[in-house]
Amino acid sequence: MNGGGRAGGRTGGPILLLAVGLLSAGPPVHQSPDPWPVLDRASATYQTITSLSADFVQIVTNPMIGTPDTTRGRLYQMRPSRFAMRFTAPKGDRIVADGRFLWLYTPSTTPGQVIRSRIPEYGTTGPNLIGQFVEQPRERYTAEYVRADSLPGGGGAVDVIRLVPKGHDQPYSEAKIWVGREDALVHRVDIVESSGQERTVILRTIRVNRGVPGRELTFSPPAGVRVVASDSTRE
């Protein structure tokens, strides 16, 4: 019996040590997928686009106010410097970058005037709404793969990527872009602006390289509307 006990002890020792080692090791660490293949594909796809149009929903949350402001409409882009947002809610509001100036016409909040300024290189009201996130992303951002997700209404699978600017010249501290796995297009952008305001732009019914009606990319101030020009656009 003693011999059997010693044999059991010799066998049980390594097994016990192995069990303790497995318990102390904890759960396996899963490494996040590499975001760069997703971004590289989105960047390459964007370079093939000359024009784009899409229905949009924009949700702006101001931490000082709290209640989100939701607007809707149709977005148009003609690369490199023409861009427009025609709002259906609030109806009549327009944002137009005509290749020379950016026009902000929002009679729903500031009736009787339109603001004319230079076209911004970055931000949420100009031709680079999408391009700023997928043009040369390796040079401009640090990137993190957040998760796999899906678009509502059976819109397909997407990869969500978090971007943090390397420089300090952008008017936002970070952004998340939702890139379609099937088409490599950006379907949604979640932006944390430098002011702390959060802005989400969701694009649906995206059409690429089908042209844009010329009337959408030009703006003429309506009769009686005062043009407020920034210093950089005064003539």
pLDDT for 232 equals 58
Alpha carbon distance 102, 95 (integer Å): 7
Tokens of 89: 């809610």
Q: What is the pLDDT of residue 25?
A: 53
Using DSSP bridges, classify how beta strands 113-117 and 226-229 pair: parallel, antiparallel or unpaired: parallel
Whether residue 223 lies inside any domain: the answer is no
The count of residues in the chain is 235
Confidence check: pLDDT of 233 > 70: no
Instruction: Count the Cβ atoms, other than its own, within 10 Å of residue 186.
Output: 25
| The model's pTM | 0.83
What residue type is 108 in one-letter code? S
Q: Quick: pLDDT tens for 61-76.
A: 998 887 899 999 999 9
Summarised one tens digit per residue, pLDDT across range 138-154 is: 999 999 999 999 998 88
Average per-residue pLDDT for the chain: 88
10 has a pLDDT exceeding 70: no
Would residue 139 count as lying in a domain? yes
Q: What is the mean pLDDT of residues 6-31?
A: 50
Q: Provide the domain limits for residue 141.
A: 36-93+119-212
Q: Please, how many CA atoms are within 13 Å of residue 124, restricted to the half-sphere of its CB? A: 21
82 domain residue, yes or no = yes
Please count the structural domains in the chain: 1
Q: What is the CATH number of the domain that holds 85?
A: 2.50.20.10
pLDDT value at 83 more than 80: yes
Question: Above 50 in pLDDT, residue 20?
Answer: no
Q: Which pLDDT does position 64 carry in this prediction?
A: 84
